[in-house]
Amino acid sequence: MLRKEEILERTSNGLSVFKHYISGNWRIGRNFLNPLYEDNKASCNIYFDRRSGIYKMKDFGNDSYSGDCFFFVGRLKGLDCNNSMDFVEILETIDRDLGLGLATGNPIPVTRTSSHIINDMPEETSDKESKPYQFREQKFPLAELMYWQQYGITPEVLELYKVCSLRDFQSVTADGTPFTYTSSVTEPMYGYKNKRYIKLYRPFSKTRFLYGGNFGENYCFGLEQLPAKGDTLFITGGEKDVMSLAAHGFHAICFNSETVTIPPTLIYKLTFRFKHIILLYDTDKTGKESARKQEKQLEELGVKRLLLPLSGTKEEKDISDYFKAGNTREDFLKLFIEFLDNLYSDTLIMLKSCEIDFNNPPAKAQVIISAGDVPLGTQGNLFGITGGEGTGKSNYIAAMLAGCICQPDKEIDTLGIQIAANSKHKAVLLYDTEQSEVQLFKNVSNLLARAKQPNKPEELKAFCLTGMSRKERLHAIVQSMDKFYYQYGGIQLVVIDGIADLVKSANDEVESVAVIDELYRLAGIYNTCILCVLHFVPSGLKLRGHLGSELQRKAATILSIEKDEEPTQSVVKALKVRDGSPLDVPLMLFAWDKAAGMHLYKGEKPREEKEKRKEKELVGVAREVFGRQEHITYIDLCEQIQQILDVKERTAKSYIRFMRERDIILKAPSNQSYFMIGTI
């Protein structure tokens, strides 16, 4: 089997490979046009990397085309050097094209390069040389704090981003001549500190930026201050812009300049953490050209660019100048909402026709019970609700929605569930995938009556999606949520009445996982609760189908609405509660009240009924466990209960204790370390 070490030994550490494939009179350490793409500026060279002991290519214009000889041949032949099968083909290609004879068993003799020749070669490294430096910090003078304050940047933001005021800075020039810069009132000096380097910023000096130490190849300011997840990330032209955005509540990073090539691998990783990645460069000629170039190069990663309404002059070209001019966070948000309107124009136009028009109500039709959503759960989580037709599920969910839009001074019946007040009037979104426009209009009208609202609040949006294809429905939900999130300053609750209608089949594992993962991601990004309604009746404590299983795994809460033994009443049962035991949750009752014209809360079922239900469900669990084996240890029993009921370890242990008290399980007489099924 071919080994890269053998090839390096027979090609002067990779130099012969570059010489074979790169034509022309190029020299080591001298720039030439990169043959891997249509290069119009000589900014590529071959150098000897002393750290790895091999020759490499460095492209200063586009770092994604830098690498060793194996990388170069791979890019030349359309192969991926990181793929094991492709790498074997790369080795075989080099061996064949250079006639090394390794694959045939007749290798050419190893050419040894004398050490004095290598020492005489100019060492061209891909990194900038590390410059020695020293500096002295000082407390920020008031005048300097006022300089940063005009951009909204506070002392706390400066500290967060490790920015200091410098008294003086010492280093050496390229030829080794020492020099010193000293701060003054007219020429203050600031430092962006890092363990390995410092970047100087002198806003009023001829030499504005200076470096000490070693930046490496991936300088990115603001990266370590980013949250684990967020809605939008801006890529700006400089460090001051990053901090100005942060001071106004936005996430941002910048690279060493607007002209540097942004690493696609870093952006790819950030796409998992942020919904939007937006280029927010200067509005001068260089900034506009660089933004267009970067957007094109990162197009596949969904990176977009936003142009600020600035003249592009030296005093008015970047986001810092935008805030300095008196614009607020709200003003910038309006710009971003306009950007989203243009980005989602086709979808929003199509979705507008699906919105219920209360000024032109449809003709009255037969009342049909519909499924709705319920805000039970925590921000950033999914909530599931299921039940059969005729159980009152639609009215129960409508009561939860009513709680999101009611006035704080009015008490309404939410059927036993407490709803957090929506005092900031965040968006409340209802997407119905099953019912007609007429039916949805009636359901929302009843919802408003329960909320004691004479008119529909602006933040309540109800959409009938029956006219869309299944693929279009999810697409419309994703994009409209993003728009309304910014328009209303957040989303209080999202209801998707019929998530089974977002996939071709509830038993399709791939589709089910993809849909639930996307909804869970959106709940985290927009810090909201997404209520998902499944239109089938559960059996026992687990939902059926891949869609139900995936929802039960990801959701913080699952409720089931069923008919009670008393047929005029419905009972709410918890199938899953993330922080606790579902069998310990009270059984809540509600029923239709003719005088009130709606369902009303009827209290909880007696404790005896709850214990009876708990015993019944755990008997079923015991039969399932011991149907596969006769005896089981305590640890294995605990693990199986956790898996079957999707509960935590402490809850599973409490169930085992309950099962022992009711003789559902017994200690095995032959071995007290094992359990066996009891008399059930």
Residues 536 and 475 in one domain: yes
Nearest Cα to Cα of residue 50 among 123, 115, 103, 112: 123
SS3 content of the chain, % helix, strand, coil (to 5): 35, 20, 40
- Indicate the number of domains in the chain: 5
The secondary structure of residue 578, as a DSSP letter, is: T
Residue 434 and residue 497 in contact, taking contact as beta carbons nearer than 8 Å: yes
pLDDT of residue 112: 46
Q: Is 223 exposed, middle or buried (0-12, 13-18, 19+ CB in 10 A)?
A: middle
| Secondary structure of 166-199 as H, E, C letters | EEEEEEECCCCCEEEEECCCCCCCEEEECCCEEE
Q: Is 359 exposed, middle or buried (0-12, 13-18, 19+ CB in 10 A)?
A: exposed
Residues 628 and 597 in one domain: no
Largest Cα–Cα distance of the chain, in whole Å?
102
503-526, pLDDT tens digit by residue?
A: 888 888 889 999 999 999 998 899
Sign of CA dihedral 82, 86, 87, 93: negative
pLDDT of residue 163: 96
Write down which residue in 213, 247, 275 finishes a domain.
213
Beta strand pairing call for 382-387 and 529-534: parallel
Residue 307 and residue 322 in contact, taking contact as beta carbons nearer than 8 Å: no
pLDDT of residue 581: 66
Residue 352 lies in a domain: no
Chain length of the chain: 680
Residue 359 lies in a domain: no
pLDDT of residue 580: 62
Residues 16 and 143 in one domain: no
Q: Where in the sequence is the domain holding 180, given as residue range(s)?
A: 134-213
CATH code of the domain in which 673 resides: 1.10.10
**CB burial readout 511-545, b (16+ within 10 A) else e:** bbbebbeebbebbbbbbbbbbbbbbeebeebebbb
Residue 103 lies in a domain: yes
Residue 239 lies in a domain: yes
Residues 435 and 532 in one domain: yes
pTM score of the predicted model: 0.57
Residue 385 and residue 415 in contact, taking contact as beta carbons nearer than 8 Å: no
Residues 98 and 160 in one domain: no
Write down which residue in 575, 605, 635 finishes a domain.
605
Residues 419 and 489 in one domain: yes
CATH code of the domain in which 291 resides: 3.40.1360.10
Residues 475 and 497 in one domain: yes
Residue 71 lies in a domain: yes
CATH code of the domain in which 585 resides: 3.40.50.300
Residues 251 and 289 in one domain: yes
CA distances to 300, 468, 674 from 575, rounded to whole Å, are: 42, 32, 29
Residue 366 lies in a domain: no
Beta strand pairing call for 491-497 and 427-432: parallel
Residues 516 and 415 in one domain: yes
The secondary structure of residue 645, as a DSSP letter, is: H
Residues 588 and 619 in one domain: no
Could you give the percent of the chain with pLDDT greater than 70? 91
Residue 446 and residue 432 in contact, taking contact as beta carbons nearer than 8 Å: no
Residue 154 lies in a domain: yes
CB atoms within 10 A of CB 401: 30
DSSP-assigned states of every residue in 522-543 = HHHHTT-EEEEEE-S--BTTB-
Residues 86 and 32 in one domain: yes
Write down which residue in 284, 314, 343 finishes a domain.
343
Query: Which distant-in-sequence residues (6+ apart) come within 8 Å of 589 by Cβ?
Result: 416, 564, 569, 570, 571, 572, 601, 602, 603, 604, 605
CB atoms within 10 A of CB 77: 14
Question: For the chain, which residues score pLDDT lower than 70?
Answer: 106, 108-130, 174, 216-217, 362-376, 535-544, 579-581, 583-585, 607, 610, 680
pLDDT of residue 156: 96
CA angle 202, 205, 209 (to 5 degrees): 45
CB atoms within 10 A of CB 257: 12
Here the tokens at position 357 are 């028009």
Helices marked H in 150-284: 155-160, 239-247, 264-270
Residues 46 and 109 in one domain: yes
